[in-house]
Amino acid sequence: MPGSLSRLVAALCALVAAGHAAAAQDIKGRQYTPPNYVFSPFVPKDIVTHDVGAIGFQPFVDILAWETFIALNWPVPTPIVQRGVPDPQNIIGGFLTGGGEGGKPSSMPVGPVVWETFKDTNDIYLNPPVRPTSFDTPESIPPACKGIATANPAAARRTLALTSKFGEIVSSVIQADGNRLVDQNRMNVWYEIKLNRVYYDYVVANGFYNSANQKGKTIAFPVSSNSTARDATIKVKAAWKVIGLLGSRQPDDPAKFYTTEALTIDPTTGQCSKQLLGLVGLHIVMKTAQLPQWLWATFEHVDNAPDQATGPVSGKKYNFFGADCAGCPLNQAPGKGSQFPTQVVRVIPVNNVAASNNTLYQTALKTLRPDNVWQYYQLVDAQWGASPKPIGQPNQPKFLANTTLETYLQQPVAPNGCINCHGMYAGSTDLDFQLQGAYPQGANTMKGLAAIFRLEGVGTPRGK
Ligand code: HEC
């Protein structure tokens, strides 16, 4: 490695170590603002504001969002010791070190990353509702995937079924087709929900994985703050696309995505297969003392979709928009059985505050390592509520959507928007829908909700 690069890596190592020590000794000092930026594997406890004045909270909330994104996408040690804990010797995107074969740089692992080792929602909310396995137990493997999992241990880290618990109910109640998103290669997008140790401990200690135990209880997930050492409750919802290989309609460049091998179960045939997936969307939701209606940060791959107002950039390839499909209806869910690519546009553009932070963090990630895959992700925005009430009314922004996770819910109308929708329908469960997926299912659980959603038109395609 050239001398300047090795010096930079060494300097960054030192900075990481410094960040580590600071986090342990002085929790208040944890927040680092660009340009004096320090990569840290530790999730910040809360926003740290200074000179709020006319600029308001938003820039500090965006910084909290990015710092949390960096900590949650930090690699874990191999083998995994404790789930949800980063490898402080490594760095986001993986260190490039000298001493590889033939004098080439060798690379530390890029993944799995912290949030991927959180507990899968399907391993917490069981039917019948028995106590889930410990947080450190690896993800369970569905019977259809057992054989292939033995042959592909890396891929067996995650198994994805296309329809979530909620999705199944929704698709059977609302529309025959449900809400799928189909990419330019006619492949379905896959979703998963992961919950951290604080979430898991709270749900298990209270027996809330059984809906009967939720009755009459006040549900309030633990918060983190700048004055206590406690960790925050964190929830992640991710969207993955199948990486299009050479020869596919629109081949993807795997070097531009955070990729993972996974086992996926085909919804029609029930067959399990191994796929290479690329991350395209990531919701990060975290509860802190100053953000009692949670932080709702949403990140996307930079090539997902063009802005509706400005249209596609000439010559650019999008994951979910085909320039060759000029007359295609926009943001329209595919019909039953159709694999016609969804023509996606972003209805509300990324605002200037988020955009300037994106440039700062993307540049920092690239400095760390020129081929760092995380430089290809952007914060769309971070929504928040500074007071616990009224539930469902965010301070800023008024609406927010991710083009891969709320493709058909982007218009600025109720019940779209994160806090808006979660507050409206999950106010009694501290804005959490997973608790409503607990068994047994009844009128106040996900099953009952599906009927409400149908009335509100959630999940039906929304216009151009
Ligand atoms: C119109 C309603 C609606 C909107 C808008 C919405 N969500 Fe959700 N969200 C849901 C439902 C329903 C689920 C449960 C899905 C499941 O279990 O498969 C969910 C699940 C989640 C989860 C998993 C944890 C949980 O609370 O169940 C996260 C994290 C999440 N949403 C984040 C977001 C973010 C961030 C936004 C805004 C960018 C957003 N949501 C917008 C309805 C909505």
CA 129 from chain centre, in angstroms, equals: 26
- CB count within 10 Å of CB 65 equals 28
Identify the CA nearest to 76 among candidates 93, 95, 90: 90
169, amino acid identity: I
CA 359 from chain centre, in angstroms, equals: 20
Identify the CA nearest to 361 among candidates 64, 2, 45, 27: 64
User: DSSP class of residue 452?
Assistant: H
d(CA 90, CA 233): 24
d(CA 145, CA 275): 12
β-bridge pairing 259-265 and 159-161: parallel
Report CA(154)–ligand 1 centroid distance (Å). Answer: 28
d(CA 384, CA 400): 10
Report CA(71)–ligand 1 centroid distance (Å). Answer: 22
- What are the pLDDT digits (tens) for 294-339? 999 999 999 999 999 999 999 999 999 999 998 999 999 887 778 8
Report CA(390)–ligand 1 centroid distance (Å). Answer: 19
Which residue among 196, 432, 433 is best mutated to probe the pocket of ligand 1, counting the most ligand atoms within 8 A of its Cβ? 433
**Exposed, middle or buried by CB within 10 Å (0-12, 13-18, 19+), for 218?**
exposed
d(CA 388, CA 371): 42
% the chain with pLDDT above 90: 58
DSSP, residue by residue, 256-309: GS-EEEEEEE-TTT--EEEEEEEEEEEEEEEEETTEEEEEEEEEEETTS--BTT
Query: Which atom of ligand 1 sits closest to the CA of residue 417?
Result: 5
Locate 347 and state its tokens. 């209805």
Report CA(426)–ligand 1 centroid distance (Å). Answer: 10
d(CA 267, CA 286): 31
Of all protein residues, the one whose alpha carbon is nearest to atom 20 of ligand 1 is 433
Report CA(340)–ligand 1 centroid distance (Å). Answer: 25
434, amino acid identity: Q
The pLDDT score that the predictor gives to residue 161 is 62
The pLDDT score that the predictor gives to residue 188 is 87
Residue with tokens 């990419």: 183
DSSP, residue by residue, 107-165: E----SBGGGGSEEGGGTS-SS-PPPPPTTSPPP--GGGHHHHHH-TTGGG-EEESS-H
The pLDDT score that the predictor gives to residue 338 is 85
The pLDDT score that the predictor gives to residue 19 is 38
Tell me which residues of the chain have a pLDDT lower than 50.
Answer: 1-33, 162-178, 454-464
d(CA 166, CA 450): 8
Whether the Cβ atoms of residue 392 and residue 427 lie closer than 8 Å to each other: yes
- What are the pLDDT digits (tens) for 104-148? 667 888 989 999 999 999 899 998 999 999 999 998 888 888 888
Of all protein residues, the one whose alpha carbon is nearest to atom 41 of ligand 1 is 418
Query: Which atom of ligand 1 sits closest to the CA of residue 401?
Result: 38
The pLDDT score that the predictor gives to residue 65 is 97
Of all protein residues, the one whose alpha carbon is nearest to atom 14 of ligand 1 is 433
- CB count within 10 Å of CB 275 equals 17
Which residue among 408, 421, 436, 446 is best mutated to probe the pocket of ligand 1, counting the most ligand atoms within 8 A of its Cβ? 421
CA 76-79-82 angle, to 5 degrees, is 60
Phi/psi zone of residue 298: left (φ > 0), alpha (ψ -120 to 50 degrees), beta?
beta
Query: Which atom of ligand 1 sits closest to the CA of residue 433?
Result: 27
Report CA(58)–ligand 1 centroid distance (Å). Answer: 21
The pLDDT score that the predictor gives to residue 218 is 97
CA contacts within 13 A on the Cβ side of 346: 24
Report CA(418)–ligand 1 centroid distance (Å). Answer: 7
Identify the CA nearest to 354 among candidates 62, 14, 29, 130: 62
| CB-based pocket (< 6 A), ligand 1 | 164-167, 193, 235, 237, 283, 285, 296, 298, 400-402, 406, 409, 415-418, 421-422, 432-434, 437, 458
DSSP, residue by residue, 318-348: BTTB-TT-TTSPSS-PPPTT--PPP---BSS
> How many residues are there in the chain?
464
Decide: pTM greater than 0.85.
Answer: yes
